[in-house]
A and B are shown apart, each in its own frame.
Chain A
Amino acid sequence: GAGVSQSPSNKVTEKGKDVELRCDPISGHTALYWYRQSLGQGLEFLIYFQGNSAPDKSGLPSDRFSAERTGGSVSTLTIQRTQQEDSAVYLCASSLLSGGYNEQFFGPGTRLTVL
């Protein structure tokens, strides 16, 4: 079956522009996660969805970042007024359920470059 997909795979934008990153989780997975990986670093948690609700938004670095999930499926991460420090790979993961031993399956990521 299909894994987690993300689009676009690469995005180059100018400072100050808004960007939208999309994640299609594995069908039937109720939990969805967004992470950010800066060059040479580990993954930094951004936000988590259970169904369409986001019980944990603690990782969003600023109010320029927002995310939504519709239909318990596709999620969009929006970054407004992008800054150069937003340049990173944005990874999405999904799991059947949240918590415990529920393996998170990762997408290939979106590489965002802010000029």
Chain B
Amino acid sequence: AQKITQTQPGMFVQEKEAVTLDCTYDTSDPSYGLFWYKQPSSGEMIFLIYQGSYDQQNATEGRYSLNFQKARKSANLVISASQLGDSAMYFCAMREQRSQGNLIFGKGTKLSVKP
């Protein structure tokens, strides 16, 4: 079974609008962390935001926020005020406590920002 599911292969958003990228996860480990990475066409992986399973508040980092709904096992990324430079692949990833460190990635969502 997929541990990280990103159901949107591609998304379009108008510049300056907000967009939500979906991510659901599956784990029986009570302790885990959720990450979002951005991968522009140049290929590098850029860390955006992190949410721990015991964090009480949703993580925020500038224009990025994570809508963490633990009971639903979802960790959606919200990008506010989209910019042309936000066009990229976005990957949701999970680290389980028992794994000792490796990240499990979803298949990604390609976001295109329209001027």
Contact = CB atoms under 8 A, between A and B. Distances in A.
B101 interface: yes
Interface residues of B, number: 24
B102 interface: yes
Nearest to A44: B105
B43 A101 contact: no
Interface string A39-60: 0011111001010000110010
Contacts of A98: 100-101
Interface in B40-63: 43-45, 47, 50, 52
Contacts, number: 64
Nearest to B45: A106
A56 B50 contact: no
Contacts of A95: 101
A102 B95 CA distance: 10
A38 B93 CA distance: 16
Contact of A42 (B35, B43, B97, B106): B106
Given A42-B108, A99-B95, A31 B50 contact: no
Interface of B: 4, 33, 35, 37, 43-45, 47, 50, 52, 91, 93, 95, 97, 99-108
